[in-house]
Amino acid sequence: MKLGNRYSKEIIERGEEYLDSVKYCIKIGNFIYGSVQGSRTYKTEVALDSLDGDCSCPYGTNCKHAVALYLTYQNGNLSDAESFIKGLDILSKSELKELLLSKLQDNPDWIIKHNLRKKTNKKDFVKSFKKHFSSDKLTEAEAILPNLSFENLLDLQDYIIDNYDDLAEKVNEEKENSNYDYEYWEEEYDGELSDLHQKLVEFIVKKSLENQKISEVIKRISLRDEIIKNANSFLEFKKKIEKQFTNDEYLRFLLVLKNPDVSEIKSRVNASNKELLYELIEEKTKLIKNIAHILRDKTLIFSVAVHENDFNTIVDHFDKFERALKIDYDLTEKLSDVVNLLMKNKFRDQEIAKKLLLEYEDAKYETKQLRFLASQITDYGFIKDVFNKDQIETHIELLERMSEIDKKRTLQFIKNKNDLLNRHWSYIIPLFGFLRKICNKKEIEKYVRENKDFFRTSSHLKKHLKEECGIFISQREGTLLVEIP
């Protein structure tokens, strides 16, 4: 599972900026928990199987704080709670009580929820929720959900679904009137209500198993995602689920099972739902590979091979590359690994190199990878079209390859492209580093003088040209002087 499957590019970038704000990261089972400093300190958790994040910040779910916590975990900066949890088994009742008491001050919500459960009339709670709804009722509901009957849970869910927009609007009106500090007002319009509904769904599905009320939950469309998530617990009711679920829902159910029937999965796959298989390649590689071969789907076989770093299969099925890119949204992130495989096996093929090079913007190749791909291409026009002046700092390798194919045309291309200079100095320095490699001093001096207006005013540019490229540019009595030792 990749962060990009759950978080937007913007949220990931913002999360990367918050790495130093993560106060701690603790792993408990398949979850990580942490504290992240934002405009205030937020409690954050991330499920490692799905990468779904939950946070006390106004954004609520899959926020920048969750990204920062997960990246902290990936970097190995965490404390694993496994040994601590094992130590609890040997504590006496009094020691456990003492431990809980020592944590009450930092966790007042334990007491608040306990008292709410005691004083709230569970029998009439749903009626009260409907009649006197407010944000306080959301807090009460969350506290007593475990104690409500299965029927009450269903009744509460029906009411929330039927009146969702009105309830969300009412909560937000309360916040507006109380000058609530809302950092993400538009994004978090229904956060608290959404959280309650999700917890409600989880409790309904859990109690349906405890109370053998399976038929009731299966027919509810709003509960099907949670049933699929817990597919293994519903295995004995597979026949009932097959009758009620749509074909795509049932396929998702089968794919989540621990030991699914591959032939049954094959019978459910069609052109419109095949993307479900691609979404699970990372998580269930062996299963999807088996399905791909049974379906004789060469595009899916190619995608699995990329995720597995299977060099021979990648090369043998590279004619499926473009189609796989359109279906497998994670594939682009793996292309740098593909290039490394080709380099490791000293495999060179101009057409494959062209296809890989066209994906450079999203693939984010390293310098040596760009150079390896470009070195295989003899088509000057192709390289020139791929070159992007806005990424010149990472595209010098393409200019170098253009020069190797045709130095004269490359120099003319640079001279004709005045917008290469009409940018921030940090983009111009790599260009002159390149020119120092392929041009003699007179050619560089001539190029500077031909574009003298770009060099008259920028002191930063002249300073860095001197320090990084050994090119001295100065003015004397209105004349631009260029010195190259």
59-73, 128-142, 160-174, 176-190, range with the lowest pLDDT: 176-190
Q: In the chain, what percentage of residues exceed pLDDT 70?
A: 93
pLDDT at residue 182 in the model: 47
pLDDT greater than 70 at residue 313: yes
Cα–Cα distance between 19 and 287 in angstroms, integer?
A: 35
pLDDT greater than 80 at residue 180: no
User: Is 68 part of any domain?
Assistant: yes
pLDDT greater than 90 at residue 153: yes
Choose between 85 and 176: higher pLDDT: 85
> pLDDT band for position 270 (50/70/90)?
very high
User: Is 81 part of any domain?
Assistant: yes
> pLDDT band for position 321 (50/70/90)?
very high
Most confident of the following: 326-330, 375-379, 428-432: 375-379
pLDDT greater than 80 at residue 32: yes
Total of domains in the chain: 1
In DSSP notation, 400-454 reads: HHHHHH-HHHHHHHHHH-GGGTSS-HHHHHHHHHHHHHHS-HHHHHHHHHHTGGG
Residues 6+ apart with CB under 8 A from 312: none
141-155, 224-238, 364-378, 422-436, range with the lowest pLDDT: 422-436
Q: What are phi and psi of 60, to 5 degrees?
A: 90, -65
pLDDT at residue 72 in the model: 94
Choose between 161 and 462: higher pLDDT: 161
pLDDT at residue 446 in the model: 87
User: Is 13 part of any domain?
Assistant: yes
User: Is 358 part of any domain?
Assistant: no
User: Is 5 part of any domain?
Assistant: yes
- Strand 79-80 and strand 22-28: pairing? parallel
pLDDT digits 0-9 by tens, 191-236: 788 889 999 999 999 999 999 999 999 999 999 999 999 999 999 9
User: Is 141 part of any domain?
Assistant: no
Residues 6+ apart with CB under 8 A from 71: 15, 16, 19
One-letter-per-residue 3-state SS of 64-104: HHHHHHHHHHHCCCCEECHHHHHHHCCCCHHHHHHHHHHHH
pLDDT greater than 60 at residue 184: no
Choose between 176 and 330: higher pLDDT: 330
Strands ordered across the beta sheet of 41-47: 53-55, 41-47, 31-37, 22-28, 79-80
- Give me the domain span that covers residue 47: 1-90
> What are 454's two structure tokens?
């770009």
25-34, 116-125, 154-163, 343-352, range with the lowest pLDDT: 116-125
Please count the residues of the chain: 485
User: Is 482 part of any domain?
Assistant: no
User: Is 430 part of any domain?
Assistant: no
Asked if 301 and 293 touch (Cβ cutoff 8 Å), the reply is: yes
